[in-house]
C-alpha cells in the first residue's frame, strides 16, 4: 500500500501500529469533504468513521484507492456497491463497538425506568422532587429487541441477567427464538432498536406500529436515524402511548429542524449525541481491528 489516509479520529495506538507496518500514514482527521475530494486520488487506502461520507462523486475521484475501512458498525455513510463496482474493497469493524452500544442501550433503559436525567436536572435546579419521580424496575418486564445481531443479542443477554423476559425480531435472519414484529410490539414493555437504516427498515416503527404497542411502552433507539418515524414518535409521546424514549441517533445529526428540536426537548425524552461507540475500550478495539484489516490487505 503506497499511502493510507486517516480521515477521522482513531486511537493513537492504532496509528502507531499502522506506521509499524511500513505503510505511509497521513492523518487528516478533520478534513472536509471538499479538501478530501482534492487529495483522495493520491491514496491507495482510506480510513473513515461516521463523520466522513464516501459518496459516488468522491469515489469517482478516488482513482488509486483500493480499500476503504470504516471504523465502526454501519456502512451507511459509504456507497458500498458503487465503490465495489470500481474495484474498491470496503470493510468495517462490526464487533469492536458492539458491547459499548449494548451497554448504552441498557443504561438508557435504567434512565427511563428511574427518571435519572430528570432527577439530576431537578437537583441541579435546586429541587427535591422525590414524590414526583417514582420509577419502575426492569426486572419482570418484557424487553423487545428489534434487530438481533451482535448488539441485539448482547443487550438481550444483559436484559435476561436482570430478570427481564426477552423477545426479539429481525427482518434479516431466521431463528426459532424470533417472533413476528407485531407480536413483539404487543408484548414489550421496553423496545430497543438495533438495525441498520436501509430501504427495508426505513420507518420500521411508524404510526401503525405504535398503535400495536402497549400503553406506556418505553423505547430506546441506539441504532440509526430513520429506522423510526420521529414524527410518529413525537405524537405517541404527547398522547402518552409511549411513556418515555431514549435517543442516541437521529434522522439528521446534529438534530435539525423544529420537529427534532421539539422531540429532544420533551421532558420524557433522554437524548445523547450518537455516543453509542464512544468508550475508551471500544475505540481501542476499533483501532486494533483497523490495524488487522490493513495487515490482511497487505498480506
Those residues with Cβ within 8 angstroms of residue 210's Cβ, 6 or more apart along the chain or in another chain? 232, 233, 235, 236, 241, 242
Q: Strand ranges (DSSP E) for 104-226?
A: 142-146, 165-169, 190-193, 217-221
Taking alpha carbons only, the member of 204, 257, 260 closest to residue 231 is: 260
CA distance 237 to 216: 9
CA distance 167 to 199: 24
Residue 208 phi, psi dihedral angles, 5° rounding: -65, -40
Catalytic residues: 224, 253, 274
Eight-class DSSP state of 79: -
Taking alpha carbons only, the member of 211, 149, 219, 139 closest to residue 178 is: 149
CA distance 29 to 20: 19
How long a stretch of residues is the chain?
299
Amino acid at each position: 500500500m503506497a499511502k493510507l489516509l486517516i480521515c477521522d479520529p482513531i486511537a493513537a495506538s492504532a496509528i502507531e501500529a499502522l506506521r509499524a507496518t511500513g505503510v505511509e500514514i497521513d492523518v487528516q482527521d478533520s478534513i472536509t469533504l471538499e479538501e478530501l475530494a482534492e487529495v483522495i486520488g493520491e491514496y491507495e487506502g482510506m480510513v473513515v468513521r461516521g463523520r466522513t461520507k464516501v459518496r459516488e462523486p468522491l469515489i469517482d475521484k478516488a482513482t488509486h484507492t483500493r480499500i476503504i475501512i470504516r471504523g465502526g458498525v454501519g456502512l451507511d455513510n459509504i456507497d458500498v456497491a458503487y465503490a465495489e463496482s470500481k474495484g474498491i474493497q470496503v470493510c468495517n469493524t462490526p464487533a469492536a463497538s458492539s458491547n459499548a452500544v449494548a451497554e448504552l442501550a441498557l443504561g438508557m433503559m435504567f434512565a427511563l425506568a428511574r427518571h435519572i436525567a430528570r432527577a439530576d436536572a431537578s437537583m441541579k435546579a435546586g429541587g427535591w422532587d422525590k414524590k414526583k419521580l417514582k420509577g419502575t424496575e426492569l426486572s419482570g418486564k418484557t424487553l423487545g429487541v428489534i434487530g438481533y445481531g451482535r448488539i441485539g443479542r448482547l443487550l438481550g443477554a444483559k436484559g435476561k441477567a436482570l430478570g427481564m423476559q426477552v423477545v426479539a425480531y429481525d427482518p434479516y435472519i431466521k431463528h426459532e427464538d424470533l417472533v413476528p414484529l407485531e407480536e413483539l410490539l404487543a408484548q414489550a414493555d421496553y423496545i430497543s432498536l438495533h438495525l441498520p437504516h436501509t430501504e427495508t427498515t426505513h420507518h420500521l416503527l411508524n404510526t401503525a406500529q405504535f398503535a400495536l404497542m402497549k400503553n406506556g411502552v418505553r423505547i430506546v433507539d441506539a441504532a440509526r436515524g430513520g429506522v423510526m418515524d420521529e414524527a410518529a414518535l413525537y405524537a405517541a409521546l404527547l398522547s402518552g402511548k409511549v411513556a418515555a424514549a431514549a435517543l442516541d441517533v437521529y434522522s439528521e445529526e446534529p438534530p435539525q429542524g423544529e420537529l427534532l428540536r421539539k422531540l429532544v426537548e420533551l421532558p420524557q425524552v433522554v437524548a445523547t449525541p450518537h455516543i453509542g461507540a464512544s468508550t475508551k475500550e471500544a475505540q481501542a478495539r476499533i483501532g486494533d481491528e483497523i490495524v488487522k484489516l490493513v495487515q490482511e490487505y497487505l498480506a
